[in-house]
Chains A and B, each alone.
Chain A
Amino acid sequence: MSGLIPLSGPFGEAESGPPMEISDTFEEFRRAESIEALAGLTREVIADPTYPTVRAWTRSGRMAVGCFPVYTPQELIHAMGFLPVSLHGGGESIEISHADAPLGSFLCSISKSTLELALTGRLTPFRAFVFPYICDVSRNLEGIFPRAVPNAVTHMLHLPQNFRSAATVPFLIAEYRRLISKLEKAGGEPYRPERLSASIELFNRIRSEVAELTRAKRSEPGKLTLAESYLLRRLGGLLPRETYLEVLTRVSSELSKRPNRSKDAIRVVLVGPFCEQPTLDLIDLLEQVGCYVVDDELLQIYRWYDRVDPAGDPLANLATAYAQSQIDIGVRATPTTKGEAILSRVAAAQARGVIFLTAKFCEPALEDVVLYRKALDRQKIPYLHLEFEERSAAYEQSRLQLETFVESILFD
């Protein structure tokens, strides 16, 4: 890229403290004695744009692969000896001053902040990057990424959109084979089916633990705040998966002992933030104003399917699991219709309303909202549509609208 400028000084980004240091063995997370403590640690980790867990992992020569939202076959990446890391943009801490130029102004913040991280050297700990084709912006971003990180390998993964064809799974297998050869060139261990089977088993166990979290949030929403469940899930894209499973197992035993401090709040479904992430303040705010978020679209990588069959041809099973997933979000062709999808979700969650929280300029989400709205209007189900940005400035306006939404359901 043309003329890079060093970022520094009091007029630059909000002075963040020294980068967070984590031990190679990730003791901090193993030892964290409570959900609160884990959540606190995770807040620290994601506030630091220099990827502390990745630095800890690569310190001893191991390699990490950055995965752009919303879905990548992380089992496969894991099986080749990499740490798969879920990239979720720059969060609140970074300022965009390089990425506007190559990308353009009318685009979502996550695409810009991800490029900003690359252009300002914060992605150097990564050996490779995988971008699934979830939207035209992420797709083009992959295309311009190599000029920003010349020493890393980048790969565009075409996730199929036709789920009715007999040729879909064979194609996806071929697609995964392309990824494999790219990752082998990047220095990954050669692909071995038995290793993939092992990774699949590990991820299956993680998936069932994560499913437990979401089930708890739905049946006893007072047990776990949305922010807590979010942070615990977010950790799943940052820690070595073996450590993560260990952590989750402890969490679920703690959770079973936790009281369900229930308050008079409105059960809502949260739709939209499947890619760019809202600020933690905004996530807190959603429940502060008097909602229980009992179904959400945040970080779905572990909820894409319940499990993958580790037996037989693991690669084929991995592809089949993706193709057969019934998940219905803005960046995947809908298996039913948007109308049916939203109504059945509201019913399943026994929700009283829907909050659409869509990232600014996220066209797929914006287009779905209209179809969802029509269906909800027909059923007289109240909803609120808010737009957010990962560095959201409009906190007061969001609060105003959320309170109005809650009041409109409570008062009469």
Chain B
Amino acid sequence: MITGGLDLGVGTTKGVLIEDGQRVLVTDIEPTHGNPLEAGRRVLERMVEEANVFPDGVDYLCTTGAARYMFPDRHLQVSDITASAKGAVFLFPQTRHVVDIGSQSTRAIAVSETGRVTRFKMNEKCAAGAGRFVDRCAKYLQVPMDEMAPKALVAAHPKMISSVCAVLAETEIINNVSEGIPLPDILMGVFLSLAQRANVLMRNVGVQPELTLVGGLVHSEAMVRALEQTAKMPVNTDLRSHHAAAIGAAILGHSRLQKLGGRPVALPAVTG
């Protein structure tokens, strides 16, 4: 049985096809550009081709992410918190705590050994401390995203950012630069400040090993280090973790499909 997971996020749209809820066949990603429906369709088409399963070869499709309801050709949708948790535990079975740093929101999620969410907390009022913060810093420090981490890692005395506003942090960083604080210290300060904000959410939920990082910043070694430093424990992550929500969605789709005896049906009560 092949189930698909589509994570229709604000920044990027991610997809995955999974066989028998066990084996990842293919993953895909593209920027959403404000049009999740189109992005989702393209991602799905590409995956179907690459894994060469015919469209109807995808037995069950489960969507997640901000636009999970905007995708009509779905069988089921689940919240991205439920999905990331499930995905994280699939990728790292010992996971008990998941940190999901998305472009706009950061979530701390406590999970059971089966990947069920037991408690969670996310930033609500504003995007302070979410991933978008890092892109903005990259932009106004004129450092390409992929160079942020390597540059940050050599920091000697990281300079924390006190402003809670992702936009106002700009001035603070410019001040730091003008006061001659070395670039690495500023960059690492950015990641540490981010980790610190995440840590407030994590402590509120209660942190237990193992800790897994999912979402947009999994590529950034600096982010991982910063998180390990503030949480005082090792952090699991790898490149697949970016697709954790999509993977989780596909797996939840699979178990639902099995409950239904292999026959896809209409959407359940939980709909928009």
Contacts and interface: CB of A to CB of B under 8 A. Distances in A.
Interface of A: 263-265, 289-290, 382, 387, 394, 396-397, 399-401, 403-404, 406-408, 411-412
A404 B82 contact: yes
A290 B118 CA distance: 18
A396 B66 contact: yes
23 contacts: A290-B270, A382-B118, A387-B124, A397-B122, A400-B79, A400-B80, A400-B122, A401-B120, A401-B122, A403-B78, A403-B270, A404-B79, A404-B82, A404-B117, A404-B120, A407-B79, A407-B270, A408-B82, A408-B116, A411-B82, A411-B252, A412-B114, A412-B116
Interface residues on B, range: 10 to 19
Contact of A264 (B80, B252, B269): B269
Given A401-B122, A403-B82, 16 more contacts: A290-B270, A387-B124, A396-B66, A397-B105, A399-B272, A400-B80, A401-B79, A401-B120, A403-B78, A403-B79, A403-B270, A404-B81, A407-B270, A408-B82, A408-B118, A411-B116
Interface in B250-272: 252, 255, 269-270, 272
Contacts of B79: 400-401, 403-404, 407
B124 A407 contact: no
Interface of B: 66, 78-82, 105, 114, 116-118, 120, 122, 124, 252, 255, 269-270, 272
Contacts, number: 48
A396 B82 CA distance: 15
Nearest to B117: A408
Nearest to A264: B269
A407 B114 contact: no
Contacts of B122: 397, 400-401
Contacts of B117: 404, 407-408
A284 B124 CA distance: 20
Contacts of A399: 272
Contacts of A396: 66
A397 B120 CA distance: 13
In the A-B complex, list the 6 residue pairs whose CB atoms are closest, starting with the nearest. Answer: A408-B117, A404-B81, A404-B79, A403-B79, A407-B82, A290-B270
Contacts of A265: 269
